[in-house]
Structure 1
Amino acid sequence: MTETVVSSALTPKEHREPSRLWHTFCDMNTVAKGPEFVVARAEGVWLWDQSGDRYLDGTASLWYCNVGHGRAEIADAVHRQMTTLDAYTVYGDFANAPAMELSERLAAHAPVADPRVILTCGGGESIDTAAKLARSYWVTQGQPQRQHLISRTGGYHGLNGFGTSIIGMERFRSGYGKLIEDTSVVRHDSAAALEAEILRVGADRVAAFFAEPVIGAGGVFLPPENYFTDVARICQKYGVLFVVDSVICGFARMGNWFGIERFGVSPDMIVFAKGVSSGYLPLGGVVVNGRVADPFWNEAGNPFLHGTTYAGHPSACAAAMANLDILEREDLFTVSREVETHLDSALRGLADHPLVAEVRSGTGVMGAVELTEEALNERGVTTAEVFAEARTRGVIVRPVPKALLVSPPLVITWEQIDHMTSTLSSALDAVMARH
């Protein structure tokens, strides 16, 4: 079957006034000139705009729709839950069955000793939760000076307060004034750089180190061989809490539950979101090992005075449970390893394109096609141009300053992968012809 090439949604078919929706991650001065790209419906790996044109969702929206769009059983599970108990807080001693069942299920699969689960509404909230918990833990241990948080270049940890303060991309930190203090960033590919920074700051002042199994939104950077083994050893040596940010990498995107299992280490905390519900409803959380949980659970007088209004939302948890059922029933953990291999092979076919400097893929269902410095700086090519050309041809990828990123739903077929990469190649050709 030949994939359909759709007409452009970038050229308005009819004039429409811009909506009053303030879009994020964009220059609204440009977006407000319209027309907005309005997604009308979705099914599997496909999206349709208001004009009925079809697009392959090469990014699973924002890395999260792991099981694909339009899964009726998730909607049915949410409907059943909403007609029983729509929403209620889990503050204090309040609980609900879906929140408890989900926590048990996640704990059973987490590569963490004696785990406990804090639920939130997404990745940014979960990072803030883990950061505050790390600092609070050291207060309970009589070491309140251990406040420093270390992260990596290219690391993306959401844009809440702590997330903005530890993000490894300067463009997301500037313009907001003074951020949270006692943070620093080290090279993403050097365990030695982490150890040197711990020693520079003083091991008795460092609370935690944050790292993604594979750096996602920062450009899909894979860890060097033995990197996480070395990192885990260094953190243990200096008593630094090791926090894994699995928001992008979890729930079969790397062929297992949390991504970090690929590297055989057991962190102190795992932050999760996105694929836990495939984005059908907002949900995230933190898996915490028993050692860190112990002073809060087993000693009086150490309340963790932190939480979010919709944490443990029963309908969101019902969506997650149905999503995890699909992951297990369809064995998307195994499927994703096969998709990973084919995606890697297909993306490698772009490596010889004159505009392409590097292809990064092969660990997880994700990849990056980075443009050459010559194309970006001398020819004046932008990744936004390539993105626009790909979307005109019916494929959605994600542009970052130097690269185009892909992270399709795990249910994508070989034919659809080939369509996605061949369309990206055509988009690169079209941009090159203009420059």
Structure 2
Amino acid sequence: MTPPRNSNVARDIAYALHPYTDHKAHLKDGPLVIGRGKGVRVFDEQGKEYIESVAGLWCASLGFDNERLVEAAAAQMRKLPFYHSFTAKSHEPLIDLSEMLIERAPVPMSKVFFANSGSEANDSAIKMIWYMNNAIGRPEKKKIIARLKGYHGITIAAASLTGLPANHKLFDLPLPGFHHVGTPHHYHNAQPGETEEQFATRLAEELEQKILAEGPETVAAFWAEPIMGAGGVILPPETYFPKIQAVLKKYDVLFVVDEVICGFWRTGNYWGTQTFGIEPDILVCAKALSASYLPISAVMVNEKVFQGIAEGSSSIGTWGHGFTYSGHPVPAAVAIETLKIYDEMDIGAHVKKVGAYMQAQLRARFADHPMVGEVRGTGLIGAVELVEDKAAKKNFDPAKKVGPRLTKIGEANGVILRAMTNDVLGFSPPLIITEAEVDEMFDRVAKSIDEIAVTVRRESISAV
């Protein structure tokens, strides 16, 4: 049915350009327009209710109706609705939030820089590293290594870090100087009979050979998410990060940990770095920093990095980087309140309890399904990977669009799903989700998977 000309659907089709969208299909199908939210649920304009299985974009950690965050924003708007942090200006929310993050850092950190998104934060970290190496007399040490299937954002440099084809095709990316090593996914990439530890050893050797091939004097930093998010919720194999970190220290390569998804209890610890025993030189965070009620991100740097920035800014007279909204007082105030809520709720204990339940239910409900190849996750992040051939670990042809079709079935069944590369369904519900809500969410997911399985089976029979 064609929507009325003045409907929100019609106006969206007429005027809006959406991220990560097939725009020819969008002109035909239009958007799902969300009108309001409550707890772990959102409601469309017609009042239909959906459980948000991915907390929006991995980020609405406190759900969709936290009144304390609304009040924190309103109070700060009345007191100081805007001020900047350029040229040594500051304000109390920026100072308080900086102090709170340094106190909560997983390893000793020196300073915090604020941006507005994870992409901007990763871009900023790249510039910091280049600037630092120039300042301390290492102008050749600029190359960056990241990982295939890693995701670090969509600005030009952050998209170059990202190791996903869709983020490079037609954009003329990655930029020169950005390199990628293998994906640490044992399920698909291990050799026959190779244990997780043996696989991790091979990946560390691959990284070392890449550094040696490029020249250690030219390699500045290595980027990694504790758990790969948009690449498919890929957990590192046992001993992976300690072995990777040993290589980086051997060749004086900085380790930048992208905690945009994993930070603030998602994995069951405050930071994903703590879950996997990582010691970052730079830590990037966003999303759950403010429960995503307002845009804000942060880059924490250790003393070594800060001293390089300080040296360069002294010689030039300024550090020529920053955004109009870096440390904006209103998002900063909301982030402060968010961190207080996490502490007061003891959200970590809740995630450990409900996360263990979610992981058990993921495996109990889906691991033996004939269309599911692997179930994986920890804490309140997980994934179900759909396959055409379970024994061969063979994924569906992308042209069949099994994942995208499944998300539409999910919407009909009252659950918002996220389908990623290789038809992986990712789960990262709001941290406040209860065990009963996990059951309800997976009931709807199971119904949806069963429906797509019937459809795919019929299509296979018809093709014979």
Please give the range of the TM-score, normalised by the shorter of the 2 chains.
Answer: over 0.9
In structure 1, what residue type is equivalent to 2:309? Answer: F
Change (3 A) 1:432 1:114: closer
Aligned residue among 270, 279, 283 for 1:266: 279
Aligned residue among 35, 45, 60 for 1:65: 60
Q: What count of residue pairs does the alignment treat as equivalent?
A: 424
Per mean C-alpha deviation after superposition, the further-off stretch among 179-188 and 56-65 is 179-188
- With a CA cutoff of 8 Å and minimum separation of 6, indicate the structure with the bigger relative contact order: 1
Task: Determine whether 1:205 maps to 2:218.
Answer: yes
More helix by share: 2
2:290 alignment counterpart: 277
> 1:93 offset after TM fit, Å?
0.8
1:8 alignment counterpart: none
Alignment of 1:260-409 (within 5 A): 260-297=273-310, 300-301=314-315, 303-348=318-363, 349-361=365-377, 363-374=378-389, 376-377=396-397, 380=400, 382-402=402-422, 403-409=424-430
1:415 alignment counterpart: 436
In structure 2, what residue type is equivalent to 1:336? Answer: V
Contact in 2 for aligned 1:235/1:242 (Cα 8 Å) = yes
**CA distance in structure 2 between the aligned counterparts of 1:352 and 1:114, rounded to whole angstroms:** 44
**CA distance in structure 2 between the aligned counterparts of 1:18 and 1:390, rounded to whole angstroms:** 25
Contact in 2 for aligned 1:18/1:34 (Cα 8 Å) = no
1:139 alignment counterpart: 134
> 1:343 offset after TM fit, Å?
1.2
> 1:339 offset after TM fit, Å?
2.1
2:178 alignment counterpart: 183
**CA distance in structure 1 between the aligned counterparts of 2:63 and 2:142, rounded to whole angstroms:** 40
**CA distance in structure 2 between the aligned counterparts of 1:257 and 1:285, rounded to whole angstroms:** 15
Sequence identity percentage? 34
In structure 2, what residue type is equivalent to 1:424? Answer: V
**CA distance in structure 2 between the aligned counterparts of 1:378 and 1:145, rounded to whole angstroms:** 41
In structure 2, what residue type is equivalent to 1:304? Answer: W
Task: Determine whether 1:117 maps to 2:112.
Answer: yes
Contact in 1 for aligned 2:42/2:49 (Cα 8 Å) = yes
SS of equivalent to 1:151: strand
Task: Determine whether 1:239 maps to 2:252.
Answer: yes
> 1:61 offset after TM fit, Å?
0.4
**CA distance in structure 1 between the aligned counterparts of 2:304 and 2:296, rounded to whole angstroms:** 25
> 1:179 offset after TM fit, Å?
4.0
Change (3 A) 1:188 1:380: closer
SS of equivalent to 1:70: coil
Contact in 2 for aligned 1:120/1:310 (Cα 8 Å) = yes
Change (3 A) 1:256 1:385: same
> 1:257 offset after TM fit, Å?
2.7
> 1:196 offset after TM fit, Å?
1.6
Render the CA deviation track for 1:114-163: whole Å, top value 9, x for unaligned. Answer: 42100001100000001111111111221110110000111100000111
Per mean C-alpha deviation after superposition, the further-off stretch among 166-175 and 380-389 is 380-389
Per mean C-alpha deviation after superposition, the further-off stretch among 293-302 and 76-85 is 293-302
**CA distance in structure 2 between the aligned counterparts of 1:75 and 1:404, rounded to whole angstroms:** 31
Per mean C-alpha deviation after superposition, the further-off stretch among 317-326 and 371-380 is 371-380
SS of equivalent to 1:260: helix
Contact in 2 for aligned 1:126/1:285 (Cα 8 Å) = yes
Contact in 2 for aligned 1:133/1:304 (Cα 8 Å) = no
**CA distance in structure 2 between the aligned counterparts of 1:238 and 1:378, rounded to whole angstroms:** 39
RMSD over aligned CA atoms reads: 1.8
Per mean C-alpha deviation after superposition, the further-off stretch among 397-406 and 208-217 is 397-406
Aligned residue among 252, 266, 270 for 1:253: 266
> 1:178 offset after TM fit, Å?
5.2
Q: Which runs of 5+ in 1 are unaligned?
A: 1-10
